[in-house]
A and B are shown apart, each in its own frame.
Chain A
Amino acid sequence: MAERISVVENILGANDRLAQDNRARLDAAGVFAVNLMASPGAGKTSLIEQTLPRLAQKFRVAVVDGDIATSIDADRAAAAGASAAVQINTGGECHLDAVMLQQALNRLDLSAADLLIVENVGNLVCPAGFALGTHKSVLVASIPEGDDKPYKYPGMYRGVDVLVINKMDLLPYINFRMDYFRAGVEALNPGLVTFPLSCRTGEGLDAWINWLTQHATRNTQHLIPGT
Chain B
Amino acid sequence: MHELPVTQSILEIAVRNGSQANARRVTDIYLVIGELSSLIDESIQFYWDMIAKDTIAEGATLHFRRIEAELMCNDCGERFPHNREDVSCPGCGGRNVKVAAGDEFFMEAIEVDGEPQG
Contact = CB atoms under 8 A, between A and B. Distances in A.
For chain A, the bracket of interface size reads 35 or more
Given A1-B117, A154-B102, 8 more contacts: A2-B112, A3-B23, A7-B17, A9-B13, A125-B39, A158-B103, A187-B82, A187-B97
Nearest to B105: A11
Q: Chain B at the A interface: mostly helix, strand, loop or mixed?
A: mixed
Interface string A172-189: 000000000001101110
Interface of B: 1-2, 5-6, 9-10, 12-14, 17-18, 21, 23, 27, 31, 35-39, 69, 71, 82, 84-85, 87, 95-99, 102-103, 105-114, 116-117
B109 A6 contact: yes
Contacts, number: 110
A104 B69 CA distance: 35
Nearest to B25: A2
B101 to A, nearest CB: 12
B113 A158 contact: no
Interface of A: 1-15, 92-95, 97, 125-126, 129-130, 151-152, 154-155, 158, 183-184, 186-188, 190
Nearest to B13: A9
A94 B1 contact: yes
